[in-house]
A and B are shown apart, each in its own frame.
Chain A
Amino acid sequence: MRSNWLWLADLPGRERALAIQGGVGTLMAPWARHFGFVHHLASPRSLQVQSADPDTANIATAGASPCALPYRDAAFDCVIWEGVLERGVTAARGADASAVLAQVFGECRRVLRPGGCLYLGVAVAAWPGRPVGAARILSALARIVLRCAAVIPRVVWQRRVSAWVPHTDRLSLPPAMGRLLKEAGFSSVQAFYIDPSFHQPWSITPARRRAVLAYESRQAASAGLRWWIAWLGLHPLLYESHMFLAYARESEASPAPRRV
């Protein structure tokens, strides 16, 4: 069910896809059913031999870093990168994560055909860099709230406040990823929320206020706290897992792809 996002993606073709750092036998089989041929890029350390399973005969595995993809320009209809902030290249948290992501996104843009789509799956939406946009204000407020929580006598309230405060860095993720993808040359970026988790994607909701309100309205009989948070436009706070579809459409407005 983790592969059903492909029904939301507008792909130019289904001939060839590149899956970055997936694992053969886990999610490679669904990609192999959707695409004519799938290249699986594993980190050199975890390189595995190509599976002998007939279901995955159209998968070729190679070992390389996503910062320098060993493929020619415009080779793929789709590039799939799951666990963007968790695995491999971006595992090191901090300010340089942006630089690494920008480099990988540039490479993804280079190997995509015109109209091709980059899929990014983020299991834990915690932006590793500095807060961006509304998150800057909210994280400052959160620090104040956290200090106040220490003097609140009731343990239950302390727990509630402490549980919500770390989620403010979720607000940074959509704008930061959007900016990096645009800078890498992607002409349009679509953000979605995955609920309840990346590994159990029971729903995929566009990260737009009205779509989130429609989704949250179905979850409860009456408008609760979650609905009001979404109404205020702070919906990134509500969801732990995100996904992004970035398109490499040719247009005059889009900047030239960054060559690495």
Chain B
Amino acid sequence: MNPKLRQLLAACSVDGDLARPIRWSDALILQNYGAIPPAVGKRGSYVLNRGFNLLLLGRGGVPRYFCKCRPTADQSLGRETAVLQALNRDPELSGVAPPTRGARSEELQLQVSEFVPGQSYAFRVPRLRESQWAASMRDILTLARRVSTRVAALLPDFLAGTGPVVLHEVAAGSLTELTAAGLGDDQLRALDTAIRRAGALPRLLQHGDLWPANVLWHQGAWRLLDFESFGRVQVPLYDVFHFVRTCWSLRQPRLEAAGVWIDSLASNDREAALCRYTIRRETSEFGLDAPQAIGVLLYYLVDVTARFIRRLPRPFWEPLALEVQRAADRLNAGVPLEEVVLGRT
């Protein structure tokens, strides 16, 4: 193994086992997103990327440590390490995230976590019965809410301000980017109006990428992974919409024929009813009203689409852009989105 990487691993060692030589056959590169050091752009600035992950095996070939390796300029990994270490120290939530340490050099930053061997919720969710699915979503979203509240107390610097979030202000940037996705002026206006109707919401740190692949079931408890986007969004319910939508899409027999989630929510089938019920319950838990929930849903769809447009080619963001268009079309047609998303209360 590269001596520089070995040094960083030794610096992250708790009980000394990472300070010992690591056999070449015990290190796997996974999720190899981009080169470290990253490519240099024409203007001399580094083109950011997410580096790669390293899986270190222990005795008997059992995964022992999961390491994230990122370029030094990457801001997200340091934030994630801070969140995980804060959770590790918290007596109530120490089991939610694995014990984690971090180190950095001039060209590489490293985060080393004990490997969590649980089963990914992404594998479980398509096979769950409806009642099991509803119960597991409730438990996971409750846990995510507890983490959000607790980390805000443990790391107050993560909050972008003390006052409430004015939704149309945080959504404005992403909304303008959607012209690239083919949204017309009337559609953008309808979205903006509905988001403005939500007004101001209490500020709450969000996981930012809460979807089934980032949730594990281990030793009778749920664990959350991948806090790299934690706190980027500070609008309550954002995680709920992301989680429910991605769960729904994983439960579709054929993903490419899954259709549009917003349209599905309007249908009478049981899965749609469970989605609506979960969203309604979480809205009530956060103390929000229906226009606020709809505003956050639209903000979520607009924000996630804009982020995909920035980073990924068209086939990845096209289905999301279609969700936004359908929502805007329903608003323009005078359909009450509150009923579609929350059901008749």
Name A's B-contacting residues (CB within 8 A).
1-11, 29-30, 33-34, 55, 190, 201-206, 208-211, 213-215, 218, 221, 245
Beyond the given pairs A202-B31, A203-B28, A215-B55, 6 more chain A to chain B contacts, judged by CB atoms under 8 angstroms and listed by A's residue number, are: A4-B36, A7-B108, A11-B2, A29-B40, A30-B39, A34-B37
B72 vs chain A, min Cβ distance (A): 13
B28 touches A211 (CB 8 A): yes
B30 touches A211 (CB 8 A): no
In the complex the two chains form, what is the Cα distance from A204 to B28 in whole Å? 6
Contact of B40 among A55, A204, A214 (CB under 8 A): A55
Contact of A7 among B30, B36, B63 (CB under 8 A): B36
Chain A residues within an 8 Å CB radius of B30 = 202-203, 215, 218
In the complex the two chains form, what is the Cα distance from A1 to B52 in whole Å? 8
B61, CB-defined interface residue at 8 Å: yes
B198 vs chain A, min Cβ distance (A): 39
B35, CB-defined interface residue at 8 Å: yes
Q: Which B38-67 residues have C-beta < 8 A from chain A?
A: 39-40, 49, 51-52, 54-55, 57, 60-63
A12 vs chain B, min Cβ distance (A): 9
Chain B residues within an 8 Å CB radius of A208 = 25
In the complex the two chains form, what is the Cα distance from A78 to B338 in whole Å? 63
A214 touches B55 (CB 8 A): yes
In the complex the two chains form, what is the Cα distance from A50 to B27 in whole Å? 36
Question: What are 16 sample pairs from A and B whose C-beta atoms fall under 8 A apart?
Answer: A1-B49, A4-B32, A4-B51, A4-B52, A7-B2, A7-B69, A8-B1, A10-B2, A34-B37, A190-B24, A190-B25, A203-B31, A205-B28, A211-B61, A218-B30, A218-B55
Contact of A8 among B29, B35, B51, B124 (CB under 8 A): B29
Number of interface residues of B (CB under 8 A): 36
B34, CB-defined interface residue at 8 Å: yes
Closest to B2 in A: A7
In the complex the two chains form, what is the Cα distance from A10 to B3 in whole Å? 6
A206 touches B35 (CB 8 A): no
Chain B residues within an 8 Å CB radius of A205 = 28-29
B33, CB-defined interface residue at 8 Å: yes
Chain B residues within an 8 Å CB radius of A29 = 39-40
B123, CB-defined interface residue at 8 Å: yes
A221 touches B35 (CB 8 A): no
B57 touches A7 (CB 8 A): no
Given contacts A8-B1, A33-B37, A221-B123, contact A211 B32 (CB under 8 A): no
In the complex the two chains form, what is the Cα distance from A8 to B2 in whole Å? 6
In the complex the two chains form, what is the Cα distance from A33 to B34 in whole Å? 14
A131 vs chain B, min Cβ distance (A): 25
A8 touches B119 (CB 8 A): no
Closest to A55 in B: B40
B36 vs chain A, min Cβ distance (A): 6
A127 vs chain B, min Cβ distance (A): 22
A94 vs chain B, min Cβ distance (A): 32
B26, CB-defined interface residue at 8 Å: yes
In the complex the two chains form, what is the Cα distance from A9 to B62 in whole Å? 22
B5, CB-defined interface residue at 8 Å: yes
In the complex the two chains form, what is the Cα distance from A201 to B34 in whole Å? 10
In the complex the two chains form, what is the Cα distance from A223 to B153 in whole Å? 42
Chain A residues within an 8 Å CB radius of B39 = 29-30
B244 vs chain A, min Cβ distance (A): 22
Closest to B31 in A: A202
- Looking at B1, B30, B69, which has the most chain A CB atoms within 10 Å of its CB? B30
Chain B residues within an 8 Å CB radius of A221 = 119-120, 123-124
In the complex the two chains form, what is the Cα distance from A221 to B119 in whole Å? 8
Closest to A29 in B: B39
In the complex the two chains form, what is the Cα distance from A190 to B26 in whole Å? 12
B27 touches A206 (CB 8 A): yes
Given contacts A1-B32, A8-B1, A10-B1, contact A211 B52 (CB under 8 A): no
- Looking at B27, B32, B34, B69, which has the most chain A CB atoms within 10 Å of its CB? B32
Chain A residues within an 8 Å CB radius of B60 = 210
A4 touches B61 (CB 8 A): no
A180 vs chain B, min Cβ distance (A): 20
B28 touches A2 (CB 8 A): no
A55 vs chain B, min Cβ distance (A): 6
Chain A residues within an 8 Å CB radius of B28 = 203-206, 211, 214-215
In the complex the two chains form, what is the Cα distance from A2 to B33 in whole Å? 10
In the complex the two chains form, what is the Cα distance from A214 to B24 in whole Å? 15
Chain A residues within an 8 Å CB radius of B3 = 10-11
Given contacts A10-B3, A221-B119, contact A4 B27 (CB under 8 A): no
Chain B residues within an 8 Å CB radius of A203 = 28-32
B11 vs chain A, min Cβ distance (A): 16
A34 vs chain B, min Cβ distance (A): 8
Contact of B25 among A1, A33, A206 (CB under 8 A): A206
Chain B residues within an 8 Å CB radius of A190 = 24-25
Contact of A210 among B31, B52, B61, B123 (CB under 8 A): B61
Given contacts A1-B35, A9-B2, contact A211 B123 (CB under 8 A): no
A210 touches B57 (CB 8 A): yes
Chain B residues within an 8 Å CB radius of A210 = 25, 57, 60-61
